[in-house]
């Protein structure tokens, strides 16, 4: 009894097609819900043009990276099929309005990641619909806002994401996230954080889902200038390069003929 999926065959690009299909310049779309910057004076002071602007400004100056932005209140949250089609890597910041992101847009993003687009999930976006739907878990954690010190330990000095980062780096004032972080075991764990208040956290986690790569990076906050920190910026730049698509393959569930005789 056949499934109801059409029998299209998966298309594998050969080397040349691959390179052509992937622009040399990595096109990043920096997404932000862009809400507390509008309503909260303390946030506006740190990020007058929004967190997305700060991230895009930093990424956009990097060689081989081109960054634009999209926000929740734009039509389709700024993430139309067309925009996503032209996006190599999507970075995601959300905090207070996760529930306002339309399921349809989440599904559109998820499909693109499975086809090969990179996804970088920042700080409080651990609770975003897109991250939770790609992980399959709750993505819960312990937290505290006390402006304490964090030290991120680099446990994979050979990984592209930690290029140029030493044995560890510090952030003087952060919101704390502590274990247990409810995620599937990462394919690769690159940072573990130490917090002054006594907790630890898996702060840099890599996964592959479908043909896409996903990186969760813990640092970030709306009133601490985390996205102006040089090490954080370096990690984000590295993560964008790491998550850039290696292939772009639509989903397919083909009904196929045998390759060998069935006696």
> What part of residues 201-230 is at the interface with a copy of itself (CB under 8 A)?
202, 207-211, 222-223
User: What sign has the CA pseudo-torsion 21, 22, 25, 29?
Assistant: positive
The residue from 192, 205, 232, 243 that contacts a copy of itself (CB under 8 A) is 192
Tokens at 13, concatenated? 């690009």
User: To the nearest whole angstrom, how small is the minimum distance from the Cβ of residue 216 to a copy of itself?
Assistant: 13
Question: Does 1 help bind a copy of itself (rule: CB under 8 A)?
Answer: yes
Q: Nearest-5° angle of CA 203, CA 204, CA 207?
A: 130
Question: Does 120 help bind a copy of itself (rule: CB under 8 A)?
Answer: no
Minimal CA–CA distance to 123: which of 232, 44, 35? Answer: 232
Per-residue H/E/C for 14-78: CHHHHHHHCCCCEEEEEEECCCHHHHCHHHHHHCCCCHHHHHHHHHHCCCCEEEEEEECCCHHHH
Residue that is written with structure tokens 């930690």 in the block = 162
Question: Does 24 help bind a copy of itself (rule: CB under 8 A)?
Answer: no
Question: Does 232 help bind a copy of itself (rule: CB under 8 A)?
Answer: no
Question: Does 193 help bind a copy of itself (rule: CB under 8 A)?
Answer: yes
Tokens at 85, concatenated? 């089609």
The residue from 44, 66, 155, 225 that contacts a copy of itself (CB under 8 A) is 155
The residue from 2, 6, 24, 63 that contacts a copy of itself (CB under 8 A) is 2
Residues ≥6 apart with Cβ < 8 Å to 120: 89, 90, 91, 92, 214, 215, 217, 236, 239, 240, 243
Question: Does 75 help bind a copy of itself (rule: CB under 8 A)?
Answer: no
Question: Does 97 help bind a copy of itself (rule: CB under 8 A)?
Answer: no
Question: Does 40 help bind a copy of itself (rule: CB under 8 A)?
Answer: yes
The residue from 154, 216, 236, 241 that contacts a copy of itself (CB under 8 A) is 154
Question: Does 102 help bind a copy of itself (rule: CB under 8 A)?
Answer: no
Local structure of residue 211 (DSSP, 8 states): T
Q: What count of residues does the chain have?
A: 263
Identify which range of 22-30, 57-65, 67-75, 160-168 contacts a copy of itself by CB under 8 A.
Answer: 160-168
The residue from 100, 184, 228, 230 that contacts a copy of itself (CB under 8 A) is 184
Question: Does 195 help bind a copy of itself (rule: CB under 8 A)?
Answer: yes
Cis link prior to 167 (omega < 30° from 0)? Answer: no
Question: Does 6 help bind a copy of itself (rule: CB under 8 A)?
Answer: no
Question: Does 138 help bind a copy of itself (rule: CB under 8 A)?
Answer: yes
The residue from 41, 63, 82, 260 that contacts a copy of itself (CB under 8 A) is 260
């Amino acid at each position: 009894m056949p499934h109801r999926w059409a029998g299209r065959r998966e298309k594998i690009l050969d080397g040349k097609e691959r390179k052509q299909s992937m622009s040399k310049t990595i096109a990043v779309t920096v997404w932000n819900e862009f809400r507390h910057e509008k309503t909260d004076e303390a946030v506006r002071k740190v990020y007058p043009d929004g967190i997305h602007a700060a991230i895009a400004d930093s990424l956009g100056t990097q060689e081989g990276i081109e960054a634009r932005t999209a926000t929740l209140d734009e039509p389709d949250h700024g993430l139309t099929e067309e925009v996503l089609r032209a996006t190599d890597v999507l970075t995601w910041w959300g905090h207070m309005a996760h529930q306002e992101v339309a399921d349809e847009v989440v599904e559109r993003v998820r499909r693109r990641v499975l086809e090969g687009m990179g996804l970088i999930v920042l700080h409080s976006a651990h609770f975003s619909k897109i991250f939770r739907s790609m992980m399959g878990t709750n993505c819960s954690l312990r937290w505290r806002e006390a402006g304490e010190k964090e030290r991120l330990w680099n446990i994979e000095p050979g990984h592209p994401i930690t290029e140029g980062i030493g044995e560890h780096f510090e952030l003087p004032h952060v919101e704390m996230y502590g274990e247990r972080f409810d995620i599937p075991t990462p394919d690769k764990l690159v940072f573990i954080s130490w917090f002054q208040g006594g907790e630890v956290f898996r702060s840099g986690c890599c996964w592959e889902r479908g043909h896409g790569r996903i990186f969760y990076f813990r640092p970030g906050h709306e009133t601490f200038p985390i996205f102006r920190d040089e090490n954080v910026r370096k990690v984000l730049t590295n993560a964008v390069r790491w998550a850039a698509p290696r292939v772009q393959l639509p989903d397919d569930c083909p009904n196929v003929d045998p390759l060998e005789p069935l006696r």
